[in-house]
A and B are shown apart, each in its own frame.
Chain A
Amino acid sequence: MKKQSNQLSNLLLAAMAALVFVLSSCGKANQGTTTGALSGNAASKVYVAPGQYDEFYAFMSGGFSGQIAAYGLPSGRLLKVIPVFSVDPEKGYGFNEETKPLLNTSHGFIPWDDAHHPALSQTNGETDGRWIFINGNNTPRLARIDLSTFETAEILEIPNSGGNHSSPYLTQNTEYVVAGTRFSVPIPQKDVAISSYAENFKGALSFVKVEPTTGHMNIEFQVLMPGLNFDLASSGKGPSHGWTFFTSYNSEMKNSLLEVNASQNDKDFVAAVNWKKAEEYLKAGKAKDFPANYMHNVYNDETHSATSTAMKSVKVLIPSECPGLVYLLPTPKSPHGVDVDPTGEYIVCSGKLSADITAHSFPKMLKAIEDKAFDGDISGVPIIKFESVLGGTVKEPGLGPLHTEFDGKGNAYTSFFISSEIVKWKVGTWEVIDRQPTYYSIGHLMVPGGNSMKPEGKYVVALNKITKDRYLPTGPELTQSAQLYAIDGDKMELLLDFPTIGEPHYAQGISAEKIKPKSKQFFKLSENKHPYVTPTEKDAKVVREGNNVHVYMTMIRSHFMPDNIEGFKVGDKVYFHVTNLEQDFDVPHGFAVMGATNAELLIMPGQTETLVWEPKKEGVFPLYCTDFCSALHQEMQGYARVSPAGSATALRWWLGDEKPVQ
């Protein structure tokens, strides 16, 4: 009996061992298909050893945070958050006097926006690492960030726009960044019944010229389109250079319950704008001057200050008066993303309610225009026959296609929101090659240079809207995420995912080598042209002008000059103009004073920044350095004495044993 039970248990053990073996080999077979992240060497592919650099910069829009975040790829390490359409108390951005003008608009100071689509500047269709542009969707704006400083350098308000969504999507030599309105609105704005939409509402497509050396932006012209909702855009490349393509929805031209009312037509339109033709019409004097009211804000690295200038008019081209300027390409159905492939031949449109991906052919479009293969018009804008412009269709690749990027090897990668996946397909043959799930609900996706003529097709990043159970929970509000896939093999391979700042919409990637050598280390003090610069400690002073008191202060390891000031009075408006005298890499100093109702200053070497302080109470208030600068950082402090209004306390200041100056 005992022997038998032993045999039985041996048999059971053997059976269990076999089962375990079978299960584990099943697991191996599954790897790389459903659970790609588990394949053995994924970690080593994203490991960047301490002290080593990432191969790429990735710039991810911060969506409703109004910021851009710079990450390293493949590590996913966060390098910097750049405030753009947002205030940032950490950097003093939007709080100090120098950067406040950047956030000025025709509606006043607006410290927030919804930043969707970063666009790296390009030369000859290749990213060049000079600037990155991004749109502000809510109060229509365009921003330019200087990639030598990673700081916002310019913000231009877009007039006659109801939401700057199809933007910036620049041209191959950064001739233009574009700004198509998401919402059509009365142009110029007026008080009309909303139900008069079809009659009164128009959609403006703005072309913003970029000065090639300074990067300064200027609205060259606007194209006044019928009341469509312009969604996204893509500028032509190579043969299609000179054209920009805008998707639109709501060809029904409805103004309420759009989820139903704007989803009825089988096809909506891609608007193809010939901007080289527009330049001819401009030269010929065909543009009308429309009164407009918008702000142009520019930051200067020598004065370390921004200025805000009110602009009063804009040139407008009306398509019915400018034949050949715009054509409409019928596109199934409520197209969202539009992406011109690196050869410039195909215009890939993702009809988010369509079962297919539609690719228009640029050569066919030109032929159709030549043959006048039109199917009517809307407000004088010809509609090209669908069959005459269709280049190819990817049949039933997934559900809810949104955006497409390219790898430069003839492959396209399309994000599918509803089926939560990336689908790889071949341009020209339209066959699906591979698919990988995303976690969850991918919006945009990004291949470094994947929207340019020279993609660096090593990785694709999925930018996901929803994370649900993917990370440790953080209460009701959860992070969004980015997921990194290797695309250098035949199959996509999930390597990494990491949380993002705000909600990332689009992103851009670029070889680190295109930016790293140009990165500024500090500002030269000798080039500081700030009107309140204090170039040496000897120049420090305090000047009273009525109730305004200007403090010309310096900072250097590890003291302020002056660090003791008396003679402030309740009711004064004190301007601390603080100059960082350091001339070394990575030695910023901070400045904070008790009771300031704004934020700190964070001043880079060679820079001057200004904090306004309006003391409300008498007393003696500390001030100190907030950025751990040196071994004696904690001692980098001082006092400001506030006397009652009308008191006779003399204005005096000093540092150490020096005699008070007055």
Chain B
Amino acid sequence: MKALPKILFFIAAAMLLTLFVFPMWQITLIAPQYPTGVTMYIWINKITGSEEGTLQNINILNHYVGMKYIEPDSIPELKYFPIVVIVMALLGMALAFTGRWKWWMAWLALGIIGCGLGLYDFYLWEYDYGHNLSPTAPIKIPGMAYQPPLIGNKVLLNFLAKSWPYIGGWFIGGTFILGAVAIWLQKRNTSIA
């Protein structure tokens, strides 16, 4: 089973590619007249909704309080984040074959920093959408901002906004856990040898 850590690390790196298969984050708005909720999915390369018209419906709701339209084409991160993810995944998979746990640690640290930066970027976008309101908004409530929570639940006027990682996000968590296990096993193997 000497190869096990390498296999685990390879899988951990490859799991980053699930970001192209599943959304990484979901924001759900719940109000009585939206009995099933309105859910927006954030992918590494796009933003979609629970239904075809969801993004338009969220934009219609948002425009009453002067929030900017969410237009995926105008968010540059959706274009260069996918490249970063692909490069990281390929690099990780290549490093798996070397079996050098210190390089693996460096890769994992880089990934965690990248992830942290990504979350910070997400926060900045949320802040911008929630605070940068049109001065001609039909509904203006002094002191009110509409920034959804980074993670967790929050009441915004008549909506309960819920922001949580989704399948792709869970897989990233999996990447870190599996990567750490692989490093630990490999380090143990190396020290025994």
Contact = CB atoms under 8 A, between A and B. Distances in A.
A454 interface: no
Nearest to B52: A583
Nearest to B36: A585
A557 interface: yes
B154 to A, nearest CB: 21
Contacts of A526: 52
Given A631-B139, A632-B138, A556 B60 contact: yes
Chain A binding surface, main DSSP class: loop
Nearest to A657: B136
B56 interface: yes
A458 interface: no
A584 B138 contact: no
B57 interface: yes
Contacts of B143: none
Contacts of A632: 64, 138
Contacts of A582: 53, 56, 60
Interface string A305-325: 000000000000000000000
A605 B64 CA distance: 20
Interface in A607-662: 630-632, 635
A524 interface: yes
Interface string A551-578: 0000011000000000000000000000
A583 B56 contact: yes
Contacts of A583: 51-53, 56-57
Nearest to B139: A631
B53 A584 contact: yes
A557 B138 contact: no
Interface residues of A, number: 14
Contacts of B64: 630-632
Contacts of A556: 60
A589 to B, nearest CB: 12
Contacts of B56: 581-584
Contacts of A635: 138
A632 B53 CA distance: 20
Contacts of A584: 53, 56-57, 60
Interface in A526-568: 526, 556-557
A557 B139 contact: no
24 contacts: A522-B53, A524-B52, A526-B52, A556-B60, A557-B60, A582-B53, A582-B56, A582-B60, A583-B51, A583-B52, A583-B53, A583-B56, A583-B57, A584-B53, A584-B56, A584-B57, A584-B60, A605-B53, A630-B64, A631-B64, A631-B138, A632-B64, A632-B138, A635-B138
Given A583-B52, A583-B56, A584-B60, 17 more contacts: A522-B53, A524-B52, A556-B60, A581-B56, A582-B53, A582-B56, A583-B51, A583-B57, A584-B53, A584-B57, A605-B53, A630-B64, A631-B64, A631-B138, A631-B139, A632-B64, A635-B138
